[in-house]
Structure 1
């Protein structure tokens, strides 16, 4: 007999609740109505909703009641008018439901597994700079690794990167990748938050070098008290996003048209990893 894999399964009660929420919004007028209420400070009357959406009062009242039954909106009477306000709890609860269904709230791994046996990772030294800058340039050439169009100078990177969080990957004695972390702020309260980068030699992508680098990156960060790591990845760079997910990063959101490179605007995915203690 073949045993079923130990896969995460959403609790039946949660699934039923979320299905009810999603079903309630499976009606375009209701979605428009909810949006109008959510963007109206202090609430809005049913009469005002009727006029704004261009629907009859009976239709508006019907949809308002459906939204209230699920808990998306609250109703209160003021003289002869019914005031509709957003239920503040749904502003966080509903997005969290979507995250739960899509697996973003599932327990995340500590770090990548299945590391390549022939790749070693060690602390970066001054002798590695030429290889690091070369690999940085190869990343620039892909067009989806960074908004940089020229390789930063050694002095620039040396000033940015945390001294104890620079690592290189070796294959047959050759540097084939690197990762580094830079503080996001000089303010003391952000001392444990760092921006990370990882680049792999063009000849050795797709064979686990990135996994080995991120394993060292995140375990060293946990050891040294960096409680939050963050990075941004072009939306086109799906392997890079998947790599960071394997290291315990989660998608925080998409930053639309955040910057331009070579005449083209790009979206980026903001990812974050927190230690278990934070």
Structure 2
């Protein structure tokens, strides 16, 4: 699987796109192979083939067979370390495969509504200038992960706020503490792009896993819709699967992969381009 996603015409899938997707799905036609891929994809680190075989409950030669087929299709990547083969998921497939399913099922333009799993103790309100230092501190946490932004140095709170739509910035509070924030940044000062903005969503590390991001993106996109913004976009590192899932849950679709779009710490990085149309 390559990072380049086939385009979907409004009249239907092209023959090339259909052939590409069919090959991906054919690779996943075996239940054991699907379990092998899941074992690799759900791991936070590379796994030797023996460990994968143990987790799935199959013989090592069987695991090797399925891993080879998955590698040939591009779902996993292999790295030799001495006599051992280390296996990791191909991050491109974490975005490419969901995109393929959406394309085939014709759901790319379906916008989900109100989430039902926002915890009651998460309250979202408009951001004020008094919140900016806490917001900047949470942003610094994101910078440190090296999977949230190309920014490497902490901006001042005022510099951070200067980029945003003033009417489209929000904070989430849990028991009176700012647990995360979200904001929209205009993509251009040209009048023709006045309704296009880019999302930023950051959650304090101590509040991750408490649906704070879900509450923030729900408020962000609904407020944007009410204000007449017609396109929201997000550029996300492929490794940041949590952010990709969050945006997909609010109707964003993957429109492509921007390969080697910029360097972070001297290393070329890709970004997934996601988009939500009103």
TM-score by length of 2: 0.63
Give the superposition deviation at 1:110: 3.3
2:221 paired residue number: 218
Verify the 8 A CA contact 2:132 2:158 in the aligned structure 1.
Answer: no
Calculate the aligned-residue CA RMSD, in Å. 2.7
1:239 paired residue number: 242
Whether 1:252 and 2:225 are equivalent positions in the alignment is no
Q: Which has the larger radius of gyration?
A: 1
Task: Give runs of aligned pairs for residues 1-278 of structure 1, distance below 5 A.
Answer: 22=19, 100-101=103-104, 105=108, 107-275=110-278
Give the number of aligned pairs.
Answer: 191
Give the superposition deviation at 1:112: 3.7
CA 127–164 in structure 1, closer or farther in 2 if over 3 Å, else same? same
CA 19–142 in structure 1, closer or farther in 2 if over 3 Å, else same? closer
CA 102–239 in structure 1, closer or farther in 2 if over 3 Å, else same? farther
Q: Which has the higher contact order (CA 8 A, sep 6+)?
A: 2
Verify the 8 A CA contact 2:109 2:251 in the aligned structure 1.
Answer: no
Q: What SS is found at the alignment partner of 1:114?
A: coil
Q: What SS is found at the alignment partner of 1:155?
A: helix
CA 99–216 in structure 1, closer or farther in 2 if over 3 Å, else same? closer
CA 252–104 in structure 1, closer or farther in 2 if over 3 Å, else same? farther
Give the superposition deviation at 1:100: 2.3
Counterparts of 1:20 and 1:214 in 2: how far apart (Å)?
A: 31
Moved more, 170-179 or 97-106: 97-106
Verify the 8 A CA contact 2:258 2:271 in the aligned structure 1.
Answer: yes
Verify the 8 A CA contact 1:113 1:211 in the aligned structure 2.
Answer: no
Structure 2: segments with no counterpart, 5+ residues: 1-11, 24-98
Verify the 8 A CA contact 1:162 1:182 in the aligned structure 2.
Answer: yes
Structure 1: segments with no counterpart, 5+ residues: 1-13, 27-95
Moved more, 202-211 or 104-113: 104-113
